């Protein structure tokens, strides 16, 4: 290979640029969307890149405009728990390992986290986990059937602290209505944040949906349940005195 020849991009390299589908207006202009994330294309380590390149066929799913067949994907009828924004995937892999009677589906737009999650799943020999590197709203809208999820997990999403950016928060009434359509009766919504203003916003948004029942005895927040492993980010925040608010609601059709 000439010293001036660029090495061929691998699957993992290409994946960094495909987190959403392009949409256009009727006159052909690109439709700008308010997104709940900023795509930070951090460097993929060789370890993360190799995990994605070698094991995507086992762990990765791609966006599709028809619903996933979860029974075929996982090889069983166990409930599917969706987690949006799993970061580096440590707690998601731990939950999947600790709950073999559940299937887990994680969505994350940042490829280093996706690669790290796949690598850890391989290391821990976890088979009940699949990951997607794509815009979660598009996946929910197009790729997940109605009444097909056993639960939704949303832990420490970007709080978009400034008031002018609150519209970018993923937890909005429209998002909750979309999730509600995808949950089976008795399915759960479990959220956690370390930003009190966002916790209050989450609580109000969830409580305004008449089909969601708060599982808190005080009708607000619950202590962190044992089945949600604390993240390194969360533990660091707690050492600094930061609070954490967990919300847990059940959907009743």
Which residues carry out catalysis? 158
- Give Cα separations from 70 to 182, 194, 212 (angstroms): 13, 32, 24
Is position 69 annotated in a ligand binding site? no
State the chain's maximal CA–CA distance in angstroms. 68
The torsion angles phi and psi of 95, rounded to 5 degrees, stand at: -65, -40
Is position 20 annotated in a ligand binding site? no
Q: Which two tokens mark 124?
A: 């821990």
Name residue, tokens 């607000």. Answer: 220
Is position 233 annotated in a ligand binding site? yes
Closest alpha carbon to 104 in 65, 53, 141, 155: 155
How many CA atoms does the CB half-sphere of 119 hold within 13 Å?
Answer: 17
Q: Which two tokens mark 191?
A: 């959220």
CB atoms within 10 A of CB 162: 8
Instruction: Collect all residues with Cβ–Cβ distance below 8 Å to 22 and sequence separation of at least 6.
Output: 30
Rg of the chain, C-alpha, whole Å? 19
- 97, with CB counted inside 10 A (0-12, 13-18, 19+), is middle
Is position 167 annotated in a ligand binding site? no
Name residue, tokens 């390149």. Answer: 53
Is position 164 annotated in a ligand binding site? no
Is position 162 annotated in a ligand binding site? yes
Is position 231 annotated in a ligand binding site? yes
Please answer whether residues 90 and 124 qualify as being in contact, where contact means their C-beta atoms are separated by less than 8 angstroms. no
Is position 83 annotated in a ligand binding site? yes
- Give Cα separations from 34 to 37, 107, 134, 168 (angstroms): 9, 18, 15, 6
Binding-site positions for substrate: 162, 194, 231-234
Binding-site positions for S-adenosyl-L-methionine: 83, 108, 135, 158
Binding-site positions: 83, 108, 135, 158, 162, 194, 231-234
């Amino acid at each position: 290979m000439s010293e001036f020849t660029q090495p061929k991009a691998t699957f993992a390299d290409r994946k960094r640029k495909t987190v959403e589908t392009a949409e256009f207006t009727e006159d052909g202009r690109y439709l700008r969307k308010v997104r709940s994330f900023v795509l930070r294309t951090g460097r993929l380590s060789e370890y993360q890149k190799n995990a994605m390149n070698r094991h995507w066929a086992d762990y990765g799913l791609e966006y599709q405009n028809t619903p996933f067949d979860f029974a075929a994907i996982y090889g069983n009828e166990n409930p599917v728990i969706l987690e949006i924004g799993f970061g580096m995937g440590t707690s998601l892999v731990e939950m999947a390992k600790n709950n073999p009677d559940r299937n887990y589906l994680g969505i994350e737009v940042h490829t280093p986290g996706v690669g790290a999650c796949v690598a850890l799943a391989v290391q821990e020999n976890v088979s009940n986990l699949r990951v997607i590197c794509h815009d979660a709203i598009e996946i929910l809208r197009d790729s997940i059937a109605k009444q097909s999820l056993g639960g939704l997990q949303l832990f420490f999403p970007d709080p978009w602290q400034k008031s002018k950016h609150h519209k970018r928060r993923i937890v909005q009434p429209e998002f909750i209505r979309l999730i509600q359509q995808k949950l089976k009766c008795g399915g759960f919504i479990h959220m956690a944040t370390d930003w009190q203003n966002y916790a209050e916003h989450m609580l109000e948004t969830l409580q305004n949906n008449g089909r969601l029942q708060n599982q808190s005895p005080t009708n607000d927040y619950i202590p962190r349940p044992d089945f949600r492993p604390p993240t390194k980010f969360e533990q660091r925040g707690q050492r600094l005195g930061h609070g954490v608010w967990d919300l847990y609601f059940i959907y009743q059709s």
